[in-house]
Amino acid sequence: MDQPVREAAELLGRARRVVVFTGAGMSAESGVPTFRDALTGLWQRYDAQALATPEAFRADPALVWGWYEWRRHTVRLARPNPGHRAVAAIQARVPGTVLITQNVDDLHERAGSSDPVHLHGSLFAPRCSACAHPAPTPDDAEGEPADGRRVPPPDCARCAAPVRPGVVWFGEALPGAALEAAVEAASSCDLLVTVGTSGLVYPAAEIPQVAARLGAAVIQVNPEQTPLDPIAEVNLRGPAATVLPALVD
């Protein structure tokens, strides 16, 4: 075990209240593209940051809905990686560990983590864009959502307005209960492990900062440098699916 991993394992061994905070890099090795990586295939010509807005949905609902159909399909084909399973192992080892994710996939749940706090919503919880009535998640039965294809969103069963993805777009408030739970957990932990996030998107990026400010140790798992480097006591520069299992073994 190399030195930083040993240091991190010691911090984890001593910790009594742990928060694990994850971003897109957590699912990268499952084949789910990160948000700021170039998208694969035909969607490459679209900027993810430009599609994940209420304005984009209003301007071209079928373009945005089609993109989310394709992403949901990608996630359905993906499997949790050893990093997701290591997070579930931390939760099993340190009871009360709170898992906070920015990811809209369900790979933590499928790896055995119960009740992740989804700060940015879910690909599997569409709702009405006008009245917020929950709508069923379409299955992939009617043929594979084609790469780059526009798909008109279904109509709300209650008011007939277009159904939208149940995710948090730029300029929208995070779900109040999720944000409160995250801030509360970050304020009362003694160790926060941040995994695979660029730390660029707020208010989520505040969560590790809150923990550090209140005296918790921070371990960061990321192959690249991020704005969270300065607050991390240990920076583990590697991919989540390799580094996290080494930490819990």
Taking the C-alpha atoms of residue 86 and residue 70, their distance in angstroms, rounded to an integer, is 28
Q: Identify whether the C-beta of residue 56 lies closer than 8 Å to the C-beta of residue 47.
A: no
105 annotated ligand-binding residue: yes
Binding-site string for ligand BJW from residue 122 to residue 161, where x marks contact by CB under 6 A and - marks none: ----------------------------------------
Catalytic residue among 108, 118, 120, 133: 120
In the set 104, 192, 211, 234, which binds ligand BJW (CB under 6 A)? 104
Taking CB within 5 to 8 Å according to partner kind, which of ligand BJW, Zn ion, none is near residue 101? none
Using the structure block, give the residue that is written with the tokens 């007939």: 160
177 lines the binding site for ligand BJW (CB under 6 A): no
The answer to whether 120 is a known catalytic residue is yes
133 lines the binding site for Zn ion (CB under 5 A): yes
Taking the C-alpha atoms of residue 31 and residue 20, their distance in angstroms, rounded to an integer, is 21
In the set 196, 211, 218, 231, which binds ligand BJW (CB under 6 A)? 196
Q: Identify whether the C-beta of residue 234 lies closer than 8 Å to the C-beta of residue 222.
A: no
Taking the C-alpha atoms of residue 86 and residue 151, their distance in angstroms, rounded to an integer, is 37
Closest-approach residue to ligand BJW (CB): 25
Q: How many residues bind Zn ion (CB under 5 A)?
A: 8
Closest CA to 163 of 123, 137, 127, 120: 127
232 lines the binding site for ligand BJW (CB under 6 A): no
User: E strands within the chain?
Assistant: 18-22, 98-101, 117-118, 127-128, 163-164, 191-195, 217-221, 234-236
Name the one range near ligand BJW by CB under 6 A: 20-28, 156-164, 175-183, 208-216: 20-28
Amino acid at 219: I
Name the one range near ligand BJW by CB under 6 A: 10-18, 26-34, 72-80, 149-157: 26-34
The H or E element containing residue 178 is helix 176-187
Residues that bind ligand BJW (CB under 6 A): 23-25, 28-29, 34-36, 52, 102, 104, 120, 167-173, 196-198, 200-203, 221-224, 226, 239-240
